[in-house]
Structure 1
Amino acid sequence: MLAETICSAVSAAGLGVAAITAYRKRFLAATRIAAYSLVPLGLVMTGVVQWVSDIAFKPSVWIGFGLLAVAWLLFMTTRAVERRAGSTRKERRAARKAERGAAVAPAASSPSLTSGSGAAAPQAQAEPRKKQRETAPGDDFSDIEAILKKHGI
């Protein structure tokens, strides 16, 4: 009852301010103020104010909000512990699968990718890495020195 009276008074005051604004020839602003001032009256007439006041003054509703807050806090705590430990459900599931698959010898289950000469493969892999090291841009500063000399630095 009190909430409905307050909302009606706010609407009446807003419409008064809108009328004063319109008198000053600011019609766009007056229309906007009138629209805002009709919102509380509309909320009262639709029953939203009664619903909100019923929620706000019932202790069982506040106990329910408290339980929701506790549940959220428990969820966030478990997430923080999982992150700190560095494990998630997905990682634990993958670890369990790896433990089950560890019974089979890894060399026995993987196929050989070489053509029969096992010693030649590591040398072939080492050659491209050596070429990458030779052409690495981090070792050669001649370009930078030329730019600095060009600018007199």
Structure 2
Amino acid sequence: MFTTTVCAALSAAGLAIALLTAYRRRFRRATKIAALSLVPVGLAMAGLVKLGGKVGRATGDWATDLVFKPSVWGGFGVLAVAVVLWVAQRFAGERAKRKAGGGAAAPAAAPAASQPALGAGRGGKSRGSAPATTGRRGSGSGSGDEDFSDIEAILKKHGI
């Protein structure tokens, strides 16, 4: 009951300020103030003020238990052990996969997978050479340079 009265008083004060602002011909500002002043009464009527109080009390009780009850600390200890076991099994699983696959299997897959990105399919360049895009710019041939020739033509047209 007291909470509802306080919320209604806050809303009434806000609406009075909104009326004074509207009297000064600041209608947009007055509308904004009126909208914000209706929030406390709306929260009280919807029951959200009481809900917020219950959530606050429950949070406070939990924090008090966290500080003063050893069983809560034990619960956090159990959660920490669970996280450590989860992470350890992930690392152990990855290590077991590496051992089962052999030492040469993983590196052999990487160069074959990266060859198209390095340009081995274009002109037969080896893996150790520079990518194909560095030598192409000045030559004026190739499918990628057709795009550049269009851009160059536009720039020449505009005198750049």
Q: TM-score, normalised by structure 2?
A: 0.46
Q: TM-score, normalised by structure 1?
A: 0.48
Report 1 or 2 for greater relative contact order, CA contacts < 8 Å, sequence distance ≥ 6.
Answer: 1
